[in-house]
């Protein structure tokens, strides 16, 4: 008997049965017969380990244990989507697109927006090589071993596929599987899971892949990304992915105009409740990849896609009390404590009341019956009061005047929506919140240190600000509750490792008000060091690209506080990165210094990304849209007519690829 051939034929047969069952929902073999063949293959693979294959169907049963999920960068960033809540929003979106592309007939791919956990899976030579969670969009956790247990995800592709590419999909838990999991828990006296989305997301981070294999997870594919994909549009990509073995929902449709998009939305707004899994809207994408390239991205989202969110589900319940939370910036957030009620798949007990103005506007009072919905299907909020059920002895809500934590009198700046506690360095929730922000994934990403541990360290007097983290010792941490030798060592090591975090993320980690990730990157790129930023005047800062007066004033205020300066000097002394470490590019020049370029069209010599990198490598800046500040447009075939018209109107030189090559040669 040819053992290798027998093993290979069994693998191919089992892969086909998996595909028929989990992707096509059309089984051609009984579960019993499938299990017998799988057992036969497992026995042969154990007997002949020299024929091991990581893509074998036997790998789907799990068996690996992951103690710490490694954080890895995405080769292609995972952007979030802009949301719309009305058809008027989509009409405005199309107008913005036409300003860039001109009055062109546009086709759109319409897909349902699935409510699960986003995943990026890379395939090399047809084999699944790596699966990474969305994370912050720039990097995520490597969950490859767990993803391999999901049977609708192919381990080996079929047909004619590119050598390397990535797929984006949503890991979901269908209603039937979720209900069975909960029923099993109830039968053994355990607490059931709250909703399918969170359960699916949590499953990806289980340490034992065999446990993940037991969960009826599914993966719905919605996008492919890579160099030289063998198709030119989103809809063609979905069709190709089906042929390669991926599970692509059949509900996706190509629309020739917005009216057809609206028909798709109207249909699924009614029929979504018939689906076997959660969906909260429709994603509309410009179909052509060429037009997608022309439109590009904002700092957070693609300009060529929009999520239309279905109207939120509403319920009524009783408001039992109002409590007040203090954020890391001192902002006070009033919170409604509600009688528990089921809403969009979760039990809701609390809802944000936003600020004093919102309470006054809706005249919200303790004891009221209120209407609650999920804003964007995520955060519960009160939208109205049922005045017909208001108690006779009801009293208007009086907003607090002093901090609920440190009892300092609250302040409210002119034009500010929120009240603030000004006790910046003495109010416990502010101190803990700033340290929690400092250690967070998008900031210093300190392994072994979570939000609860920060509170534990503060409450035990071991840290009073984030600089204190760098003086912690294993001996200090060990006596704390739930702290063992290994976890204490991991915490200290995680703090030490954070000294390698680049300056732009350190700047974000400092928690300067209004300085988010994008602003921190711009400031770090412009000033190169914390010392240069500290010396900047208000006027200097305002002149930096996209830095307004509000942000500039906040930066000035931060550095005028002597305690902040002392903390930064301490962090410097521990080795935290406060300068941009320039990567030396041997081919870099300054030939294009001071010049701004806009790239448009399809190119032969370069990919668009290579062209943009070449501009930056030679000291130039790449702009996203044509304006009076644009020095050159580099144009390929099919340049957007609106861009061409604007460039001519502003008398901006238009370069071909060849002319650009001469410019930098």
pLDDT tens digit string along 579-597?
998 766 677 788 898 899 9
The residue out of 500, 529, 548 marking a domain boundary is 500
CA–CA dist 108, 343 (Å, integer): 32
User: Does 33 carry a binding-site annotation?
Assistant: yes
pLDDT at residue number 344: 67
In the predicted model, what is the mean pLDDT of residues 198-210? Answer: 87
Rg of the chain over all Cα atoms, to the nearest angstrom: 28
Verify that 128 and 266 share a domain, yes or no. Answer: yes
CA–CA dist 634, 341 (Å, integer): 57
Instruction: Give the model's confidence band at 23: pLDDT under 50 very low, under 70 low, under 90 confident, else very high.
Output: low
511: containing domain: 503-574
CA–CA dist 376, 37 (Å, integer): 46
In the predicted model, what is the mean pLDDT of residues 456-483? Answer: 94
Strands 632-635 and 654-655: parallel
In 343-382, which positions are buried (b, 16+ CB within 10 angstroms) versus exposed (e)?
A: bbbeebeebbbbbbeebeebebbeebbbebbbeebeebbb
CATH code assigned at 625:
3.40.50.10190
* Residue 377 resides in a domain: no
CATH code assigned at 493:
1.10.150.20
The residue out of 285, 309, 333 marking a domain boundary is 309
Closest by Cα among 476, 477, 471, 428 to 448? 477
pLDDT at residue number 109: 98
Q: Is 67 a catalytic residue?
A: no
Instruction: Give the model's confidence band at 22: pLDDT under 50 very low, under 70 low, under 90 confident, else very high.
Output: low
Closest by Cα among 393, 396, 331 to 359? 396
Tracing tokens 């240069």 back to the chain, one arrives at 532
Closest by Cα among 137, 88, 147, 82 to 113? 82
Instruction: Give pTM, 2 decimals.
Output: 0.67
User: Does 170 carry a binding-site annotation?
Assistant: yes
pLDDT at residue number 627: 87
pLDDT above 90 for 573: yes
pLDDT at residue number 102: 84
CATH code assigned at 199:
3.30.470.30
In the predicted model, what is the mean pLDDT of residues 634-651? Answer: 85
User: Does 629 carry a binding-site annotation?
Assistant: no
Beta bridge partners of 402: 409
Which residues have C-beta within 8 Å of that of residue 450, sequence separation ≥ 6? 439
* Residue 176 resides in a domain: yes
User: Does 497 carry a binding-site annotation?
Assistant: no
Verify that 520 and 627 share a domain, yes or no. Answer: no
Looking at the chain, the whole-number percentage of residues with pLDDT higher than 90 is 56
User: Is residue 570 within a helix (H) or strand (E), and if so which, with residue range?
Assistant: helix 562-574
CA–CA dist 149, 191 (Å, integer): 25
Number of residues assigned to the chain = 665
pLDDT above 90 for 553: yes
pLDDT at residue number 651: 93
CA 301 → CA 101, 137, 295, distances in Å?
Answer: 18, 11, 11
Instruction: Give the model's confidence band at 237: pLDDT under 50 very low, under 70 low, under 90 confident, else very high.
Output: very high
User: Does 219 carry a binding-site annotation?
Assistant: no
pLDDT above 80 for 453: yes
User: Is residue 454 within a helix (H) or strand (E), and if so which, with residue range?
Assistant: helix 451-459
Closest by Cα among 388, 574, 586 to 468? 574
pLDDT at residue number 133: 94
CATH code assigned at 35:
1.10.287.610
* Tokens at 394, concatenated: 């009801």
Range with the largest mean pLDDT of 250-259, 410-419, 539-548: 250-259
* Residue 322 resides in a domain: no
* Residue 419 resides in a domain: no
In the predicted model, what is the mean pLDDT of residues 14-18? Answer: 78
pLDDT at residue number 377: 45
CA–CA dist 448, 490 (Å, integer): 5
Beta bridge partners of 599: 634
Verify that 96 and 193 share a domain, yes or no. Answer: yes
User: Does 110 carry a binding-site annotation?
Assistant: no
* Residue 8 resides in a domain: yes
In the predicted model, what is the mean pLDDT of residues 139-168? Answer: 93
pLDDT above 70 for 63: no
Query: Residues 348, 372: contact at Cβ < 8 Å?
Result: yes
CA 123 → CA 157, 411, 432, 458, distances in Å?
Answer: 9, 55, 42, 45
CA 319 → CA 97, 351, 365, 524, 586, distances in Å?
Answer: 44, 10, 8, 46, 65
Mean pLDDT of the chain: 89
In the predicted model, what is the mean pLDDT of residues 514-540? Answer: 92
Verify that 195 and 92 share a domain, yes or no. Answer: yes
Instruction: Give the model's confidence band at 378: pLDDT under 50 very low, under 70 low, under 90 confident, else very high.
Output: low
Which residues have C-beta within 8 Å of that of residue 273, sequence separation ≥ 6? none
CA–CA dist 136, 77 (Å, integer): 9
More confident site: 28 or 558: 558
Concatenate the DSSP letters of all residues of 513-527 into one string.
Answer: TT--HHHHHHHHHHH
More confident site: 28 or 90: 90
User: Does 56 carry a binding-site annotation?
Assistant: no
Query: Over the stretch 298-347, which tens digit does the pLDDT of each residue have?
Result: 878 999 999 998 887 789 999 999 999 998 889 899 999 999 998 866 78
Verify that 477 and 550 share a domain, yes or no. Answer: no
* Residue 130 resides in a domain: yes
Which residues have C-beta within 8 Å of that of residue 476, sequence separation ≥ 6? 462
Concatenate the DSSP letters of all residues of 357-377 into one string.
Answer: HHHHHHT--TT-EEEEEEETT
User: Does 427 carry a binding-site annotation?
Assistant: yes
Query: Residues 125, 151: contact at Cβ < 8 Å?
Result: no
Verify that 485 and 564 share a domain, yes or no. Answer: no
Verify that 147 and 233 share a domain, yes or no. Answer: yes
pLDDT above 70 for 379: no
Q: Based on the structure, what is the number of domains in the chain?
A: 5
CA–CA dist 294, 637 (Å, integer): 12
Verify that 474 and 566 share a domain, yes or no. Answer: no
Which candidate in 37, 87, 113, 389 is catalytic?
113
Verify that 484 and 616 share a domain, yes or no. Answer: no
pLDDT at residue number 584: 66
Verify that 97 and 197 share a domain, yes or no. Answer: yes
Query: Residues 303, 295: contact at Cβ < 8 Å?
Result: yes
User: HSE-up of 643 (CA within 13 Å, CB side)?
Assistant: 27
Query: Over the stretch 599-621, which tens digit does the pLDDT of each residue have?
Result: 988 888 878 888 888 998 898 98
Verify that 41 and 153 share a domain, yes or no. Answer: no
pLDDT above 90 for 370: yes
């Amino acid at each position: 008997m040819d053992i290798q051939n027998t093993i290979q034929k069994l693998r191919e047969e089992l892969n086909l049965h998996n595909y028929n069952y989990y992707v096509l929902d059309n089984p051609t073999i009984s579960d019993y017969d499938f299990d017998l063949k799988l057992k036969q293959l497992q026995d042969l693979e154990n007997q002949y380990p020299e024929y091991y294959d990581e893509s074998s169907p036997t790998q789907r049963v799990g068996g690996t244990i992951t103690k710490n999920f490694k954080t890895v960068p995405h080769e292609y960033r995972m952007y979030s989507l802009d949301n719309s809540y009305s058809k008027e929003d989509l009409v405005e979106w199309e107008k913005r697109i036409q300003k860039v592309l001109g009055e062109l007939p546009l086709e759109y791919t319409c897909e349902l927006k699935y409510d699960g956990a986003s995943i990026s899976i890379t395939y090399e030579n047809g084999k699944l090589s790596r699966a990474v969670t969305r994370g912050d969009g720039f990097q995520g956790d490597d969950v490859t071993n767990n993803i391999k247990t999901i049977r609708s995800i192919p381990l080996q592709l079929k047909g004619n596929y590119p050598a390397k590419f990535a797929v984006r999909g949503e890991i979901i838990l269908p209603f039937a599987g979720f209900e069975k999991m909960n029923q099993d828990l109830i039968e053994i006296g355990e607490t059931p899971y709250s909703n399918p989305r969170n359960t699916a997301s949590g499953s990806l981070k289980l340490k034992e892949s065999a446990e993940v294999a037991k969960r009826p997870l599914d993966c719905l594919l919605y996008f492919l990304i890579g160099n030289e994909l063998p198709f030119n549009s989103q809809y063609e990509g979905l069709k190709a992915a089906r042929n390669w073995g991926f599970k692509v929902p059949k509900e996706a449709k190509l629309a020739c105009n917005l009216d057809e998009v609206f028909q798709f939305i109207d249909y699924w707004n009614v029929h979504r409740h018939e689906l076997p899994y959660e969906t909260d809207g429709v994603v509309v994408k410009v179909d052509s990849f060429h037009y997608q390239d022309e439109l590009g991205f904002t700092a957070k989202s693609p300009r060529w896609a929009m999520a239309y969110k279905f109207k939120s589900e509403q319920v009524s319940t009783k408001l039992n009390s109002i409590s007040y939370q203090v954020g890391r910036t001192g902002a006070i957030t009033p919170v409604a404590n509600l009688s528990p009620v089921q809403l969009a798949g979760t039990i809701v007990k609390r809802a944000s009341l936003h600020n004093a103005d919102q309470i006054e506007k809706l005249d919200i009072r303790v004891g009221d019956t209120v209407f609650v919905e999920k804003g964007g299907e995520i955060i519960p909020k009160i939208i109205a009061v049922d005045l017909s059920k208001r108690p006779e002895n009801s009293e208007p809500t009086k907003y607090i005047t002093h901090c609920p934590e440190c009892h300092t009198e609250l302040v409210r700046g002119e034009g500010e929506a929120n009240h603030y506690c000004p006790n910046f360095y003495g109010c416990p929730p502010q101190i803990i919140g700033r340290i929690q922000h400092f250690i967070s994934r998008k900031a210093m990403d300190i392994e072994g240190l979570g939000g609860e541990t920060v509170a534990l360290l503060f409450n035990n007097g071991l840290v009073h600000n984030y600089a204190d983290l760098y003086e912690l010792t294993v001996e200090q941490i060990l006596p704390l509750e739930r702290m063992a030798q290994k976890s204490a060592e991991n915490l200290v090591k995680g703090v030490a490792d954070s000294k390698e975090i680049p300056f732009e993320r350190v700047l974000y980690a400092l928690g300067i008000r209004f300085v988010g990730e994008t602003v921190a990157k711009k400031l770090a790129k412009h000033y190169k060091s914390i010392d240069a930023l500290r010396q900047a005047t208000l006027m200097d800062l305002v002149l930096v690209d996209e830095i307004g007066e509000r942000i500039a004033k906040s930066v000035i205020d931060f550095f005028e506080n002597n305690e902040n300066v002392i903390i930064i000097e301490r962090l410097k002394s521990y080795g935290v990165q406060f300068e941009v470490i320039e990567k030396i590019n041997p081919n870099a020049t300054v030939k294009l210094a001071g010049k701004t370029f806009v790239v448009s069209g399809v190119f032969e010599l370069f990919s668009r990304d290579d062209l943009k990198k070449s501009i930056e490598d030679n000291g130039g800046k790449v702009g996203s849209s044509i304006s009076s500040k644009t020095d050159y447009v580099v144009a390929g075939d099919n340049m957007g007519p609106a861009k061409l018209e604007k460039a001519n109107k502003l008398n901006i030189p238009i370069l071909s690829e060849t002319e650009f090559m001469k410019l930098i040669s």
